[in-house]
Amino acid sequence: MQSQPDISRFPIPALSEMPDDIRARIVAVQEKSGFVPNVFLVLAC
């Protein structure tokens, strides 16, 4: 049994699993805002 419910119906990939160009854009957003919005991670799949 799962202890915590999923936060998304879609898989959220790790940054290390993403192509370099997408990872660079997400890291740039993280540096500017201090966090990465989940929608960016989901759409990166």
Mean pLDDT in residue range 7-18: 82
SS3 (DSSP) at 44 = coil
> Which CATH code is given to the segment(s) 10-45?
1.20.5.810
Instruction: Please state the domain extents for the chain.
Output: 10-45
Mean pLDDT in residue range 6-16: 80
What is the per-residue burial (b if ≥16 Cβ within 10 Å, else e) of 8-34? eeeeeeeeeebeeebbeebeeeeeeee
Backbone angles phi, psi at 10, to 5 degrees: -105, 145
Q: What is the pLDDT of residues 16-31, one digit of tens each?
A: 989 999 999 999 999 9
> Please, are residues 30 and 18 in contact by the beta-carbon 8 Å criterion?
no
Given pLDDT bands bounded at 50, 70 and 90, which one contains residue 1? low
Overall residue count recorded for the chain in this entry = 45
Q: What is the pLDDT of residues 33-42, one digit of tens each?
A: 999 988 888 8
pLDDT at 41: 86
